[in-house]
Amino acid sequence: DTGVSQDPRHKITKRGQNVTFRCDPISEHNRLYWYRQTLGQGPEFLTYFQNEAQLEKSRLLSDRFSAERPKGSFSTLEIQRTEQGDSAMYLCASSFINSPLHFGNGTRLTVT
């Protein structure tokens, strides 16, 4: 069990640029989740996949955000035309169905 891996750990970008984050889940897990955490808040759900199917998206996930999980393995989260309000920690987690989520250490995005 190598844990959930996220890349990069930190990303600084200018407003209006596109960014993409990668998440490698625990290999046996069939569910993969994306959460966002801002300062002083708990993690907020964005979306989740079961295998390669995206089953739910939060209303927080505007049309500038897109997530994919090709072949049910790793996942990417892309943010287009970034805004300063997108600055946050983006957390990926994975799990079996009906099991606790295992989180990665996150990607910290700063939009200047």
Partner 1 sequence: DQQVKQNSPSLSVQEGRISILNCDYTNSMFDYFLWYKKYPAEGPTFLISISSIKDKNEDGRFTVFLNKSAKHLSLHIVPSQPGDSAVYFCAASAGNYGGSQGNLIFGKGTKLSVKP
**Which chain residues interact with partner 1 by CB under 8 A?**
4, 31, 33, 40-45, 48, 50, 55-56, 58, 91, 93, 95, 97-106
Structure tokens at 2: 């190598």
Structure tokens at 10: 């930190």
- Dihedral over Cα of 69, 74, 80, 84: its sign: positive
Closest to partner 1 by CB, 45 or 80: 45
Least distance between partner 1 and beta carbon 18 (Å): 24
Closest to partner 1 by CB, 1 or 14: 1
Helix (H, G, I), strand (E, B) or coil at 12: strand
CA distance 94 to 74: 10
Least distance between partner 1 and beta carbon 15 (Å): 25
Least distance between partner 1 and beta carbon 16 (Å): 28
Closest to partner 1 by CB, 18 or 60: 60
CA distance 107 to 66: 16
Closest to partner 1 by CB, 30 or 80: 30
- Residue given tokens 């606790």 in the structure block: 100
- Using alpha carbons, select from 14, 6, 74 the residue that is nearest to residue 37: 6
Least distance between partner 1 and beta carbon 90 (Å): 11
